[in-house]
């Protein structure tokens, strides 16, 4: 029910809703501070070529050490960053940081950076990519951006033009979490992707569930027909990796090959001879 608030108006918020709102505001304020004063950092998860077994690059994953609270998972703060518009600045910071860290990795290693649909729609992504490449000196061929279907829901000429301009820089574009949400085969044909990342939900059922296997086979076949490479995310077992190789999937990422780690640890692993 409506309650009188301190300023003589009425609030329709229950105590529970009010608590959530206060929490959210605090999170937003802390996130803004983290962006300005430091507190965000990136960890990197190796991506491995299934044929050679070699690490070819890594995905950058955002982390936030929130004062007094501890590690906040991205699933808990990216959405707030999107709602408040902070995602543009956070996304630009992430691109800049990832390029600066990846430039000291061994030759030929690439880095993949996640881009939020809201960040994409805000504009400024192209400029942020150019700034990160120029400032770091990273070769464009070593940078990949990961977008989700959320970006393509806004299926316009402008979306297509932005993706083409980005690709014109020489960077690669990967479609993340493929198979979830509104996956459309049309997207793969229409938009200029270099890579499809098969969503973890299909990989985790590989070997137990025949339909997951059929889906993986279909996605790999279709991607190859369109000239697009495939990488599977969330690979946790040797059996999953073997099935993926049998199906022609080129690359893998997952706990089996390495947890997300610091840039320094990753550089060491990249340089180390394979076991």
Q: Which of residues 67-86 bind ligand C2E (CB under 6 A)?
A: 73-75, 78
Q: Which of residues 215-254 bind ligand C2E (CB under 6 A)?
A: 233-236, 254
Where on the chain is the footprint of Mg ion (CB under 5 A)?
A: 114, 146, 176-177, 199-200, 233
Using DSSP's 3-state secondary structure scheme, residue 21 falls into: helix
- Residue 223 binds which entry of Mg ion, ligand C2E, none, with Cβ cut-offs from 5 to 8 Å by kind? none
88 binds ligand C2E (CB under 6 A): no
Distance of CA 215 to the CA centre of its chain: 22
Token pair belonging to 157: 């000429």
Is 75 within 8 Å of 37 (Cβ atoms)?
Answer: no
Dihedrals phi, psi of 62, to nearest 5 degrees: -80, 140
Is 116 within 8 Å of 78 (Cβ atoms)?
Answer: yes
Instruction: State the Cα–Cα distance between residues 95 and 111, nearest whole angstrom.
Output: 10
**Are β-strands 110-114 and 70-72 bridged in parallel, bridged antiparallel, or unpaired?**
unpaired
* Nearest-approach distance from CB 145 to ligand C2E, in angstroms: 10
What Rg, from alpha-carbon coordinates, does the chain have? 20
Is 93 within 8 Å of 85 (Cβ atoms)?
Answer: no
Inter-CA distances, 6 with 1, 3, 10, 221, 252, Å: 16, 10, 9, 63, 56
Interface with ligand C2E (CB under 6 A), residue from 85, 134, 168, 255:
255
Q: Which of residues 92-121 bind ligand C2E (CB under 6 A)?
A: 94, 114-116
- Residue 260 binds which entry of Mg ion, ligand C2E, none, with Cβ cut-offs from 5 to 8 Å by kind? ligand C2E
Instruction: Give the x/- contact pattern for ligand C2E in 1-40, rule: CB under 6 A.
Output: ----------------------------------------
61 binds ligand C2E (CB under 6 A): yes
- Residue 230 binds which entry of ligand C2E, Mg ion, none, with Cβ cut-offs from 5 to 8 Å by kind? none
- Residue 94 binds which entry of ligand C2E, Mg ion, none, with Cβ cut-offs from 5 to 8 Å by kind? ligand C2E
- Residue 240 binds which entry of Mg ion, ligand C2E, none, with Cβ cut-offs from 5 to 8 Å by kind? none
Shorter beta-carbon distance to ligand C2E: residue 5 or 229: 229
Task: Enter the DSSP assignment of 227.
Answer: T
Instruction: State the Cα–Cα distance between residues 119 and 67, nearest whole angstrom.
Output: 25
Shorter beta-carbon distance to ligand C2E: residue 13 or 261: 261
Instruction: State the Cα–Cα distance between residues 29 and 206, nearest whole angstrom.
Output: 42
Binding site for ligand C2E (CB under 6 A): 45, 61-62, 73-75, 78, 94, 114-116, 146, 176-177, 233-236, 254-255, 260
């Amino acid at each position: 029910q409506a309650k009188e608030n301190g300023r003589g108006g009425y609030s329709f918020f229950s105590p529970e809703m009010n608590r959530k709102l206060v929490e959210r505001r605090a999170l937003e304020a802390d996130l803004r501070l983290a962006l300005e004063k430091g507190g965000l950092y990136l960890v990197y998860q190796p991506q491995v070529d299934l044929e050679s077994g070699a690490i070819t690059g890594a995905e950058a994953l955002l982390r936030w050490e929130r004062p007094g609270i501890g590690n906040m998972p991205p699933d808990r703060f990216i959405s707030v960053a999107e709602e408040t518009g902070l995602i543009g600045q956070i996304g630009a910071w992430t691109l800049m940081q990832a390029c600066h860290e990846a430039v000291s990795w061994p030759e030929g290693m690439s880095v993949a950076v996640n881009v939020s649909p809201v960040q994409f729609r805000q504009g400024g992504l192209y400029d942020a990519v150019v700034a990160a490449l120029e400032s770091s000196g990273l070769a464009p061929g070593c940078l990949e951006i990961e977008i989700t279907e959320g970006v393509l829901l806004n299926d316009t000429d402008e979306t297509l033009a932005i993706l083409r301009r980005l690709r014109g820089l020489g960077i690669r574009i990967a479609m993340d979490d493929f198979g979830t949400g509104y996956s459309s085969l049309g997207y793969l044909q229409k938009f200029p992707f270099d890579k499809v990342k098969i969503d973890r939900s299909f990989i985790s059922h590989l070997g137990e569930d025949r339909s997951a296997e059929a889906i993986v086979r279909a996605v790999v076949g279709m991607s190859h027909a369109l000239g697009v490479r495939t990488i599977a995310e969330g690979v946790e077992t040797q059996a999953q990796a073997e099935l993926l190789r049998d199906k022609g999937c080129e690359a893998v990422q997952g706990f089996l090959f390495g947890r997300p780690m610091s840039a320094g640890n990753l550089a060491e692993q990249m340089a180390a001879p394979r076991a």
